[in-house]
Chain A
Amino acid sequence: MRLPDGFRRTTPPELSGGGSGVEEEIRFHIESRVDELVASGVPEAEARRRAEREFGDRAHMVRRTERESRGGGETTMRVMRWMGEAGRDVRLAMRQVRRNPGLWAAAVVTLALGVGGTTSVYSVVQGVLLRALPYPDEERVVRIWPAAPDDVDGGRQSWSVPDLDDWRERSESLAAIGGYTASLGGMVVPTEAGVPEEVRAAYVTGGFFDALGTAPLLGGTLPSEAEESDPRVVVLSRGFWERRFGGDPDVVGRVLDAQHGAYRIVGVMPDGFAFPDPDTELWTFLANVEQESVPWLLRQVRVFDAVARIAPRTDAAEDDLATAEQELAEVARGIAADLPETNAGITSVELMPIRTALVGDVRTPLLIVLAAVALTLLIACANVANLLLARGAGRQREFAVRASLGAGRGRLVRQVLTEGLLLGVLGGVAGMLLATVAVPALLSRAGALIPRSQAVTVDAGVLLVALAVSVGTGCWSGFCPRCGWAGDRLGRLAVAAATASRRGDCSTGWCSRRWGWRSCSSWRAGCSCGASSSCGPSIRASSRRVCSWRTWSCPVTRTPKTTSASGTVSWSDSRPFPACSERRRPRSSRPAAWASSGRGASGASPNRSPARPVRPRLSTSTGTSSRSCGSRSCVGRCRVPIPSCH
């Protein structure tokens, strides 16, 4: 750049340590102006004052210029403004908390109970019903029983080991079948200090691990054929491995000294593998059980359970199961024909997917409980919304003032949402704390009744669900009571509120008959009623609440003086904007006297008669409603005289 004649370049102040360049630039401007004024004869102090005045707000301009020069000025400003407003909203919401600690405490506790209950039960449901079992392709893993349909007691039998061998040899639809028993007592394993400890053990046949299919954490599992290998081997659970061997990674090959001899450790199973019982910690071959104690080689000793893996033939596991059941029944009939003295009655098998076998009994009850707590959460929402609504009457004026001071609709909505969010977060955190306490308590009392209860944890997923539920709840309960206002025209709100306060009448709300509010009310009424009938509290309370809602939807702003039996009211002259209140009423519902005049609301005579047809709604409203409306003025949804009224 070529500077004008007589000027020369210099180092920028940013580089020579002269502070902000913008400041120096502006200082130069003012000094130049002072020089000029002084040269024209103005005293220096006066010149400085005038220069500053002409320049305007110097600090502000420096800030604005720096922002412009940094770039992205508008976006930055918008984000900054948004964040500032959000911060103010949060502070405002906190002030609401401080101003109404009791109300907020009630709301937070209500939400916390709802969220805590739902979270606790959901975490159980998630652990028991939703979390995957540790068996790959679990649809094809089944519990299997030989069945004697002609038997008097339903027919489900247990297995003997020779039976299992026969079925495995003759059937083609079984990829693997393994028998097991966990009822032979534990294995007594002395601790390192020499104290004997009885450890829950399962005695299994070869094929047990093949049927379940779980990959070991370390080493291998028991081989399929016990006869072909050394039977004195053992597989450890992860818990036992950590407890007894300190999680030694070289545990495979070491020896476990048990009371009845030593076992070579061949593998460690991963977390979550607990079959057949939640506390089973060791698995070894049935071959290690003495014939003297359990003569398991006899075909008549039917004391074993079995799991099987169905060979995949089609993509649909159900089809495979049905085919397998038919084929296995034929095998059963074949064996029965060959061994009439021991197997005559056993003519079919029963298969049950492992998930159903494990959790089938508790599935329905758990889901019912979940539905119940979810309903409780809905009631909690409804109650919180009611609490906020009860306070809402007092806050309309605040909103109207904010609106008339220039707060836009979005801004008001955001304030309400921020309050809801704060409520949701507080309630959610309290609910989560409740859940972390409640779940262990629940499991310690009912853990024995719930299968897979060891899989139940309050994990991040569950807590996230809880937080989402509570924040949603908070926003909804905070927002719903005001959806009528927010959707309203703010101008009307402001004018009407100003009118109301001029009249000294702020007794009732803008709980208009908008669909939002109406649907909320009726929804809540339904919810409360449903919940009341299903969960205890009396319906009467809730129907009273419905009546009180009716009071709020009283539709006009006017003060009735007298009510005659014929349904006419004389109105005090102070009522604002009478014509507007008739706007929404369908023509057919107008009383006959009105209709015969043949004129609309705007055509009413200038010297209005004191006697005027009343809206049927006032005279036919419910007892509660007319009592509350008759005795005082009601500010309802009167339309203020905006041009659109006529």
Chain B
Amino acid sequence: MELLQGTLDVMILKALEWGPLHGYAVSRWIKSTTRDVLTVEEGALYPALHRLRRKGLVESEWGVSENNRRAKFYALTPKGREALTQEADSWDAYARAVDRVLKAESPGGANG
């Protein structure tokens, strides 16, 4: 399933909610959490990460990874945490609204 425009950013923010991760770990997390339903072109992750950094939603630092390689780690900033809460709420409202529409039984709604 193709990713909806703009949802990658919020998924990245969510991935970083529990602590700093490098790009590859973010990508693994998204893949495993969505159980391979969403196809994310992995490369597209990096422009998004750098865009978020520029907006001040995440910060980055170089470190050494578990397999002893140099990797860049990303972490949420307070601003990013706030943005995540907001996005999650609005996504929730949106999804529920669409869900209601799709599950409606007749055009008449409550009257029918």
Contact = CB atoms under 8 A, between A and B. Distances in A.
B47 A65 contact: yes
Contact of A69 (B24, B42, B54): B54
Nearest to A25: B72
B17 interface: no
A28 B71 CA distance: 6
Interface stretch (A49-57, A329-337, A437-445): A49-57
Contacts of B86: none
B99 to A, nearest CB: 31
A1 B75 contact: yes
Interface string A1-32: 11110111111110000100110111011011
A35 interface: yes
A55 B50 contact: no
Nearest to A60: B43
A7 B44 contact: no
A7 B27 contact: no
Interface residues of B, number: 33
Given A54-B42, A68-B54, A12 B75 contact: no
Interface of A: 1-4, 6-13, 18, 21-22, 24-26, 28-29, 31-33, 35, 54-58, 60-61, 64-69, 71, 73
B43 A12 contact: no
A29 B70 CA distance: 10
14 contacts: A3-B20, A7-B63, A8-B63, A10-B64, A11-B62, A13-B62, A25-B72, A29-B24, A32-B65, A56-B43, A65-B46, A65-B49, A66-B50, A71-B54
**Chain A facing B: main interface SS:** helix
Interface in B6-31: 19-24, 27
B106 interface: no
B63 A9 contact: yes
A21 B73 CA distance: 12
B63 A61 contact: no
Contacts of A6: 66
A8 B70 contact: no
Given A18-B70, A22-B50, 12 more contacts: A1-B59, A1-B61, A3-B63, A4-B73, A6-B66, A9-B61, A10-B64, A25-B46, A54-B42, A56-B44, A61-B43, A66-B50
Given A25-B46, A54-B42, A61-B43, A4 B19 contact: yes
A8 B64 contact: yes
A198 to B, nearest CB: 80
Contacts of A21: 62, 72
Contacts of A73: 51, 54
Nearest to A3: B63
A92 B64 CA distance: 52
Contacts of B27: 29
A54 B51 CA distance: 21
A9 B70 CA distance: 9
A364 to B, nearest CB: 67
B75 to A, nearest CB: 5
B41 interface: yes
Contacts of A1: 20, 59, 61, 73, 75
Given A28-B71, A29-B23, A68 B51 contact: yes
A32 B72 CA distance: 13
A26 B67 contact: no
Nearest to A71: B54
Contact of B44 (A32, A35, A61): A61
Nearest to B60: A1
Contacts of B73: 1, 3-4, 7
B69 interface: yes
A6 B63 CA distance: 10
A305 to B, nearest CB: 79
B67 A32 contact: yes
Contact of A28 (B22, B44, B51): B22
Contacts of B61: 1, 3, 9
B53 interface: yes
A69 B54 CA distance: 6
Interface string B70-100: 1111010000000000000000000000000
B30 to A, nearest CB: 13
A7 B47 contact: no
Nearest to A32: B24
Contacts of B54: 68-69, 71, 73
Nearest to A5: B19
Given A1-B59, A61-B47, A68-B47, A7 B65 contact: yes
- Residue of A28, A58, A71 with most chain B CB atoms under a 10 A cut-off: A28
A78 to B, nearest CB: 16
A595 to B, nearest CB: 46
A73 B53 CA distance: 13
A33 B24 contact: yes
A105 B53 CA distance: 55
Task: Give the residue among A3, A26, A61, A71 with the most B Cβ atoms within 10 A.
Answer: A3
Contacts of A55: 41-43
A24 B46 contact: no
